[in-house]
Amino acid sequence: MTDDDFQTSAAKSANTRLACPQDFISDAPFEFELGGSVPSLTLRYETHGTLNADRSNAILVCHALSGDHHVAGQHTPADRKPGWWDAFVGPGCPLDTERFFIIGVNCVGGCQGSTGPLSPNPATGLPYGADFPQLTMRDMVRAQRLLVRGLGIERLHAVIGGSMGGMQGLVWAVDFPQDTGRVVALACAANQNARAIAFNEIGRVAIMSDPAWRGGHYALGAGPKAGLALARMLGHVTYLSEAGMGRRFGRRAQEGACPANVVVERGPFHAEFAVESYLNYQGLTFTERFDANSYLAITKAADRFDLAAGRSLEAVFAPVRARVCLIGFSSDLLYPPADNHDVLAALLRAGKNATYTELETDAGHDAFLLPTAELFQAIRNGIE
């Protein structure tokens, strides 16, 4: 079976379930690591499978920058797309809902129902916008833990996630060793490297230089559409690889009506190639589902991520009790696989149970989203 066949069959079998988003509300003020607070915290989440009697079978799924709590299934039968990890979650899937209780949660600072820049600022009654407290990865993890405890779970069987979600898995292992049984961290690193910061910064400047950003205070639906589309276009390229883009698009010409014209009036500079049209379309549709201030807040949190923060990684890993399974992808542009070697070495030197599995692929950073037999087995091994 080829990877493509595998993906098709995996998608067919899994995407016919309904998922029901719920809101967890913590009425206490939530203090942010870099200062500021919100008077209460709402976290939108969804679950799959059944929590067992001793509450020992929960797996927390942490999403990447543009993801959310909606990991699998459909919210309504009319939904065009299922959750972002649909093929990975279900009966018999790597995150087997017959064995495990799967929790997906939108991060604090997000825009899919959790407290974030779209939430009302009690000082003004208007959305926080750019006045939402500055965010870190640790804020997201502390918020997730409130939810986990709220669900009556003392210890997670596992925390799993890709990209920013993988970083959060590492934070769980370090900050809450008692609570974290296993970590499966895909396509990530122990800090944000200079180039990843640079790509995020370009996306931010694109948003902030769009006049519709208005200093971070725009009306709902009137946000910086072109700027956010640009940020997404760039993000999207960094999630792919040169070889993968060559295979998928190459120099194929754009034929027929070009949705690229929708993002911006281009005069005579048409989108001549399929890859241009595709990117414009991706950028455009992203603006329909994502908030620009959330994009700023979350990319800032990712850029600030530095697990060692001036200490040695080995020392930082000392408290870890979790078994840690790192999974990297050969063509990942954002977090080159070599970065995992340092994380693995530090975990081993700290005497921890850790492995690193590197998968050969031309799917780039996005490989963690694509079902393949190899990745499924690597994840099974990690949460076993």
Residues that bind its own copies (CB under 8 A): 130-131, 134, 191-195, 197-199, 201-202, 204-206, 208-211, 215-216, 226-227, 229-230, 233-234, 237, 240-242, 245-246, 248-251, 263-269, 271-273, 275-276, 279-280, 283, 296, 300, 303-304, 306, 333, 336
Mark whether 163 is an active-site residue: yes
For its own copies, the closer CB: 273 or 376:
273
Rounded-to-integer distance, Cα 310 and Cα 313, Å: 9
For its own copies, the closer CB: 295 or 368:
295
Mark whether 332 is an active-site residue: yes
Residue 106: count of CB within 10 angstroms of its CB: 27
Instruction: Write down the residue that tokens 């990117």 correspond to.
Output: 279
Helix (H, G, I), strand (E, B) or coil at 229: helix
CB 62 within 8 A of CB 168: yes
In angstroms, give the least distance from the CB of 42 to its own copies.
22
For its own copies, the closer CB: 265 or 288:
265
In angstroms, give the least distance from the CB of 359 to its own copies.
19
Query: From the DSSP assignment, how many helices (H) and strands (E) are in the chain?
Result: 12, 12
In angstroms, give the least distance from the CB of 111 to its own copies.
16
In angstroms, give the least distance from the CB of 75 to its own copies.
32
In angstroms, give the least distance from the CB of 249 to its own copies.
4
For its own copies, the closer CB: 205 or 219:
205
The one-letter amino acid at 276: E
For its own copies, the closer CB: 100 or 199:
199
Reading the block at residue 251, the tokens are 């120099």
CA atoms within 13 A on the CB side of 146: 24
CA torsion, ordered 175, 366, 103, 382, to nearest 10 deg: -70
Among the listed residues 96, 179, 332, 339, the single catalytic one is: 332
DSSP 67: -
Among the listed residues 163, 241, 277, 294, the single catalytic one is: 163
**C-alpha 168: how far from chain center:** 10
Among the listed residues 63, 70, 157, 365, the single catalytic one is: 365
Instruction: Write down the residue that tokens 């697990």 correspond to.
Output: 307
Catalytic residue numbers read: 163, 332, 365
